[in-house]
Structure 1
Amino acid sequence: MNSEIINKTEEYVKNKLQGEGTGHDWWHIHRVRNTALRLGEIEKADLFIVELAALLHDIADHKFHDGDEEIGPATAWNWLENLGVDEAVIRKVCIIIRDVSFKGAGVETTMESIEGKVVQDADRLDALGAIGIARAFAYGGHKVRELYNPEIKPESHTTFEAYKKSTGPTLNHFYEKLFLLKDRMNTMAGKKEAEKRHQFMKGFIDQFLSEWDGNFEL
């Protein structure tokens, strides 16, 4: 029964997000699911809840629905309810979906369950490293944001509303979110991998800034 629910949910999500161009596509879901399951095994989490939450965590992202924070959990609830999933499981999955996202430098996003912690770590790992860099610029292009503007300084958002309204250049996003993630990981394995990806990302930004003014040594 659980495997049938997973298979139907995978197909549902794949059909909905396949070909999406902002970095929140099916392959993002695929990577997060795989990472979350690996972390979940280490942490002895309920892998059914982990897999459902990972598959559905971006099913209706607030970024693409006028900032609506409830549409994601509501969409997931309706889908799982129609599949006959136990209400206690649905509730746990939807809490994870509600709380998984980064909401600003000054906003806490604590996960209570171990299932939530591994899904959150998996989602954050996909925002780091080489893939994280690619996703950041893909989303910035989608939002028609400048790559970088040294006249616009990064902000430390103290509320989710302020974070959602941010329109700064893509490079600012590294300082406003991505460089903060390694210190917000929940699991030991997640922290270790986040540190590696963080260092890679820092090297990229250092190189980007060194090239910015068009100067180089022969």
Structure 2
Amino acid sequence: MSVISKDLTKLAKVLYKGRDTSHGIQHVSKVRDNAMLISRQLNITDSYRLIKIETAALFHDLWDHKYINPLSMEYKRAKDNFKYELKKRLFSDQEIKDIEIIIDNISLSREMELRRIDSLSSLKHLQLMRDIVSDADKLEMLGISGIERIVEFQMHKYPNTKSNELQNIVKKVYDTKISKFFDENYIKTEPGREMAKPLMQEMKNYIEIIN
């Protein structure tokens, strides 16, 4: 791991302090690892592109709407502090802007809504980087570990959720989101799709058992 990677990981540990495991440092570190693996398999070697991908992956949940109201001062502070920390690490204004654009276009819920109203637009030179980070994040929704993340988040938000309710929530997430990943091309990159196949089968097997 490079010096800048170690420094960004250290920063992420600070900025995600207090988060539950479903959207905290454990999760974003796995997303970063997935993103770098996809990048390698796509033969991306440009260091400037790779650092944008890595940074977006590590901080993609920092101002997630499930944790911070987008209309709140906390949201603005989180973004401003993020920019401040990157500037301290000699990221240019353009690099920071690109990373923020990638982060702001990763949300699966937002992607689904934009598709519904036929409002998806190309991010031009950032599109592939966005797709890599988005695929890397979606991979963490899959398999048994993905099911565990759904449960972790639900129990964090609603600690009194009963086990039969948890099963229904997992099924709902699968039916409304995850089951569409392949058929509706939500996983964009070829390496991402290959990595997703066995994990998707794990999830299908689980859903069949609880149905």
The answer for unaligned runs of 5 or more in structure 1 is 150-167, 210-218
Secondary structure, in 3 states, of the residue corresponding to 2:179?
Answer: helix
Across the two proteins, how many residue pairs are aligned to each other?
A: 189
Instruction: Say yes or no: does 1:179 pair with 2:179.
Output: yes
* d(CA) in 1 for partners of 2:201, 2:163: 20
Work out whether residues 146 and 169 of structure 1, in 8 Å CA contact, stay in contact via their aligned partners in 2. no
Residue matched to 2:83 = 77
The answer for unaligned runs of 5 or more in structure 2 is none
Higher relative contact order, chain-length normalized (CA < 8 Å, sep 6+) = 2
Work out whether residues 32 and 126 of structure 1, in 8 Å CA contact, stay in contact via their aligned partners in 2. yes
Secondary structure, in 3 states, of the residue corresponding to 1:177?
Answer: helix
Work out whether residues 54 and 119 of structure 1, in 8 Å CA contact, stay in contact via their aligned partners in 2. yes
Residue matched to 1:63 = 66
* d(CA) in 1 for partners of 2:162, 2:99: 36
* d(CA) in 2 for partners of 1:84, 1:26: 23
Residue matched to 2:155 = 141
Residue matched to 2:204 = 202
* d(CA) in 1 for partners of 2:50, 2:122: 16
Counterpart amino acid of residue 189 in structure 2: T
Residue matched to 1:9 = 8
* d(CA) in 1 for partners of 2:121, 2:144: 26
As a proportion of its length, which structure holds more helix? 2
Secondary structure, in 3 states, of the residue corresponding to 1:59?
Answer: coil
Q: Compute the TM-score of the two structures, normalised by the length of structure 2.
A: 0.77
* d(CA) in 2 for partners of 1:132, 1:54: 17
Secondary structure, in 3 states, of the residue corresponding to 2:114?
Answer: coil
Counterpart amino acid of residue 38 in structure 2: L
Cα RMSD of the aligned pairs, angstroms, is 2.6
Secondary structure, in 3 states, of the residue corresponding to 1:93?
Answer: helix
Q: What is the percent sequence identity of the aligned residues?
A: 24
Counterpart amino acid of residue 102 in structure 2: I
Q: Compute the TM-score of the two structures, normalised by the length of structure 1.
A: 0.75
Instruction: Say yes or no: does 1:91 pair with 2:104.
Output: no
Instruction: Say yes or no: does 1:100 pair with 2:114.
Output: no
* Residue pairs, 1:41-52, within 5 angstroms: 41-45=40-44, 46-52=49-55
Q: CA deviation at 1:23?
A: 0.8
Q: CA deviation at 1:53?
A: 0.9
Q: Which runs of 4+ in 1 moved over 4 A?
A: 67-75, 145-149
Q: CA deviation at 1:190?
A: 0.6
Counterpart amino acid of residue 20 in structure 2: G
Counterpart amino acid of residue 13 in structure 1: A
